[in-house]
């Protein structure tokens, strides 16, 4: 039996460090499902693992794409499943780590299939985003599909527009197309979650932002300024500093906004991951050996039930 051990949790909680320890113990390789870390032009602001961390275990899907490429969760699902087929011929255990719940779900459960929508709907929504701002689109989604509004990252304009175009173009809610039967997988997922008290999570996020700035985040954002319209750059840490470079807000406010929006993101991550009752949750300071023991118990129980 093949096992996909997933490590999930809010941003800055320590998922990378745990995934490397698990990979070393099980002699396994790591698939990243962090949708921000796919892009080679974005390093500091996405908290890409350090070179020594990447060297400590074999990683896949880290800085393997360009921000100029159109890359979706559908692309990732196909490529990740292909990579899993390859890796399972070497070892029956693979580690997957990341905070992008949608991308993780795509690999484990499969994507939902949505109707084809006329491109003019998206064009109109993008125009409205530029002229009316994101709040207008957020409010419309809340009215048309409150279930989706409460589930997705509402600070992400790409996700808002995608949900709205389905609502408008099909006349049905985005959520109505979800949770249909999917193709079976050739692996069993074992889900491990890291968490902490809210104030600990927020302190870790604030500190991570400070470290990013010390490492040169502003310089990285400046180098990408002329590309700020690209979808990959519509994300926390970049969006706020683009506004600073535009002269719209001052630097201190931009930093406070990065921290605030990162905290909001972490809250949404926890809401998403906590919905899965199969996840084994551990405090971020938990002894790795205890986590490994729990994983092995799950594997033992599943093997004995065959």
Of 153, 177, 201, the domain-final residue: 177
Q: Which domain holds residue 129?
A: 119-177
Q: Assign 4 a pLDDT band (cuts: 50, 70, 90).
A: very high
Are both 100 and 141 inside the same structural domain? no
Residue 15, marked binder: yes
**In residues, how long is the chain?**
306
Q: 135-190, pLDDT tens digit by residue?
A: 999 999 999 999 999 988 888 898 999 999 999 999 999 999 887 777 789 999 99
Q: 3-state SS string over 39-65?
A: ECCCCCCCCCCCHHHHHHCCEECCCCE
Percent of the chain residues past pLDDT 70, beyond the cut = 99
Bridge partner list, 4? 94, 189
CATH number at residue 125: 1.10.20.140
Select from 160, 177, 194 the last residue of a domain: 177
Question: What confidence tier does 306 reach under pLDDT thresholds 50, 70, 90?
Answer: low
- Residue 9, annotated ligand binder? yes
- Assess whether 54 and 170 both reside in one domain: no
265 and 209 both lie in a single domain: yes
> Cα–chain-centroid distance for residue 241?
21
Quick one: 33 and 152 in the same domain? no
- Whether residues 100 and 220 share a domain: the answer is yes
Same domain as 216, residue 154? no
According to the annotation, is 169 in a ligand binding site? no
Q: Which of 177, 200, 222 is the last residue of a domain?
A: 177
Radius of gyration of the chain (CA): 20
Asked if 86 and 208 sit in the same domain, the reply is yes
* pLDDT tens for each residue of 40-55: 999 999 999 999 999 9
Residue 57 belongs to domain with CATH number = 3.40.50.300
Answer yes or no: do 18 and 38 share one domain: yes
Q: Looking at the whole model, is its pTM more than 0.85?
A: no
Total number of domains constituting the chain: 2
Say if residue 11 is in the same domain as residue 64. Answer: yes
**266 and 124 within one domain:** no
143 in the same domain as 290: no
Residue in 229, 115, 125, 124 with CA at minimum distance from that of residue 176: 115
pLDDT in tens, 84-134: 999 999 999 999 999 999 899 999 988 878 888 888 999 999 999 999 999
11 is in an annotated binding site: yes
Which positions ≥6 away from 288 have C-beta within 8 Å?
18, 21, 22, 25
User: Would you say 99 is a known binding-site residue?
Assistant: no
**Residue 133 and residue 96 share a domain:** no
């Amino acid at each position: 039996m093949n096992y996909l051990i997933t490590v999930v949790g809010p941003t800055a909680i320590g998922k990378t460090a745990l995934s490397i320890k698990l990979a070393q113990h099980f002699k396994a390789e790591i698939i990243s499902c962090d949708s921000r870390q796919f892009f080679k032009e974005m390093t500091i602001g996405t908290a890409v693992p350090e070179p020594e961390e990447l060297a400590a275990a074999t990683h896949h899907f880290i800085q393997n794409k360009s921000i100029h490429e159109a890359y979706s969760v559908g692309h990732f699902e196909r490529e990740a499943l292909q990579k899993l087929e390859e890796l399972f011929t070497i070892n029956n255990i693979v580690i997957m780590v990341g905070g992008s719940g949608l991308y993780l779900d795509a690999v484990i459960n499969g994507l939902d299939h949505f109707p084809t929508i006329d491109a003019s709907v998206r064009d109109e929504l993008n125009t409205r985003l530029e002229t009316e701002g994101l709040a207008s689109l957020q409010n419309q989604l809340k009215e048309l599909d409150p279930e989706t509004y409460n589930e997705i990252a509402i600070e992400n304009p790409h996700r808002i527009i995608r949900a709205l175009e389905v609502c408008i173009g099909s006349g049905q809610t985005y959520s109505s197309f979800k949770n249909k039967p999917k193709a079976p997988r050739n692996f069993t997922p074992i889900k491990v979650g890291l968490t902490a008290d809210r104030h600990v999570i927020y302190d870790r996020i604030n500190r991570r932002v400070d470290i990013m700035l010390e490492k040169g985040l502003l310089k990285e954002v400046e180098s990408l300024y002329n590309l700020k319209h690209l979808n990959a750059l519509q994300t926390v840490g970049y969006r706020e500093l683009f506004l600073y470079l535009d002269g719209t807000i001052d630097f201190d406010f931009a930093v406070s906004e990065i921290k605030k929006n990162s905290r909001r993101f972490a809250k949404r991550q926890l809401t998403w991951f906590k919905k899965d009752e199969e996840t084994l949750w551990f405090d971020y300071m938990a002894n790795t050996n205890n986590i490994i023991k729990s994983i092995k118990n799950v594997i033992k129980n599943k093997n004995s039930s065959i």
